[in-house]
Structure 1
């Protein structure tokens, strides 16, 4: 009897709970018409629209960035190709045509700056140009190599980064943040300069300009000593390390060439038929 009444009360309680739930269902079903739920629905739709607009803007930004990257790559290639022509022009230098060759090389370099570097500056000024660095760094490095090569052959000094960036300011719109070459690209270009100086030194030795070759050798040595102090502070930059290895090879080649000339010069024997009256074949005085 006790068990039956206990179960009966439990059954009645479940019946009342089921009845209360059945009464709540219409309220829940009709809850969407309440002011609170009505206010939440437009807010959800507005959030979805905002996300959609944000994605659309980001997609448009990426498309524009890719198009700009293609234009920057094209401009960088033009800078690279024409800067190489300037370097080839400088290699024609000799003690007989120095002023003529350097004048032509400077005119060619000015054309590269005003035509091709100007296109690069126009594309990159006023933007986050560091995002596109891989697209233009090789052209900038080649341009630095050509500009510093001309400066050394003319004055025997190194063109510094501030001078290069100052020349680019004239190509920029003053109301927009200008493109400025960073230190890394400058150092990479200077590292390439030593290879051209090595070729120039070997060529001057073959033409008998020993003093000029020795001047180049000392300049490249000093440059290597300066850079070998800076490179360890560059967070193990792989590209710069490779160029430092090539630079050391260039220094060694110039030193060996200058040393060989110095040693062999003391052992040099004039050719037969020389006009030197003091020359005696086999150490025997010439017969009168």
Structure 2
């Protein structure tokens, strides 16, 4: 009678086929899911960093613009083409990784790139139109960069935090423009047509035109909007924003709102100094060169 084989002998014998344990297969599935998760997370983090870097370069180039409510100059458009291409390619590369629940699972990994791009996008939109880009328009712009992989989600939190950061760029733009041109940048508001002007014509239109010329009331231009007026209005709305307490978003808003107020105050201080210097030395002022200088002994005695 042969010797009875034990469980240890069966495990040590490589020629003996071993049955696959369901527990081992389950943990192998967990390992595969974790590896996939870490690979996806690293791709999103890398893309977010590349989007952040390209957006910063985009902002630096936009700071060369000096006029509001005008198309971006051609030399700036050409310089920024490569940065736009980089941002779009990065969003397209990770669009498939940010679908359905993964859009919220990896939200903290892409939020840095979204906020920086939101800052650049809103800054360029303001330079072109002197208005604030809406959340719907910004979300559609980012979603369109996803390509075949699907749209990339722009959360309301990333939109608001990006607008907070954009205030700092408006501060730099305003102060630089005042230093180079001697005035606060701003676009002229367009005159709105009279309601009767759009519906009437012929002799009635000529009569209304004559009446306006006689009265002179409609010849006055509407008030001029400048960067400081827009910054103050933006500050008013952002200060009225009340984020839900107990979240990281509320802490970020509390930090950024302090910086936002400082940026608006810097523009106000710079404009105050510009106006005061303009009053002390009016335009066209030149020093009196005919006045004799003091003798060296008079200066030393003084």
TM-score by length of 2: 0.66
Match status 1:146 vs 2:120: yes
Match of 2:143 in 1: 169
Match of 1:267 in 2: 280
Asked whether the equivalents of residues 197 and 216 of structure 1 are also in contact (C-alpha less than 8 Å), the reply is yes
Q: 1:103 aligns with which of 77, 80, 86?
A: 77
Q: 1:229 aligns with which of 233, 240, 244?
A: 240
Asked whether the equivalents of residues 135 and 159 of structure 2 are also in contact (C-alpha less than 8 Å), the reply is yes
Deviations 1:53-100 (A, max 9, x none): 544433322221111111111111110111111101111123599523
Of Structure 1 and Structure 2, the greater helix share is in: 1
Q: Identify which of structures 1 and 2 has the higher relative contact order when contacts are C-alpha pairs closer than 8 Å and 6+ apart.
A: 2
Q: 2:133 aligns with which of 159, 164, 172?
A: 159
Following TM superposition, by how much is the alpha carbon of 1:101 offset from its aligned partner in structure 2, in angstroms? 4.6
- Superposition pairs of residues 68-83 of structure 1, within 5 angstroms: 68-83=40-55
Q: CA 1:108/1:196 → structure 2, altered by over 3 Å: closer, same or farther?
A: farther
SS in 1 for 2:121: helix
- Superposition pairs of residues 1-288 of structure 1, within 5 angstroms: 53-95=25-67, 99-104=73-78, 107-108=81-82, 110-172=84-146, 178-212=151-185, 215-233=226-244, 235=246, 237-268=250-281, 270-272=285-287
Following TM superposition, by how much is the alpha carbon of 1:104 offset from its aligned partner in structure 2, in angstroms? 3.4
Q: Which range moved further: 146-155 or 162-171?
A: 162-171
Asked whether the equivalents of residues 61 and 80 of structure 2 are also in contact (C-alpha less than 8 Å), the reply is no
| Runs of 5+ unmatched residues, structure 2 | 1-20, 187-224, 292-302
TM-score by length of 1: 0.69
Deviations 1:214-249 (A, max 9, x none): 711121211121111223445461112101111011
Deviations 1:17-55 (A, max 9, x none): xxxxxxxxxxxxxxxxxxxxxxxxxxxxxxxx6665544
Cα-Cα RMSD = 3.0
Asked whether the equivalents of residues 76 and 120 of structure 1 are also in contact (C-alpha less than 8 Å), the reply is no
Asked whether the equivalents of residues 75 and 117 of structure 1 are also in contact (C-alpha less than 8 Å), the reply is yes
How many residues were matched structurally? 228
Following TM superposition, by how much is the alpha carbon of 1:105 offset from its aligned partner in structure 2, in angstroms? 6.1
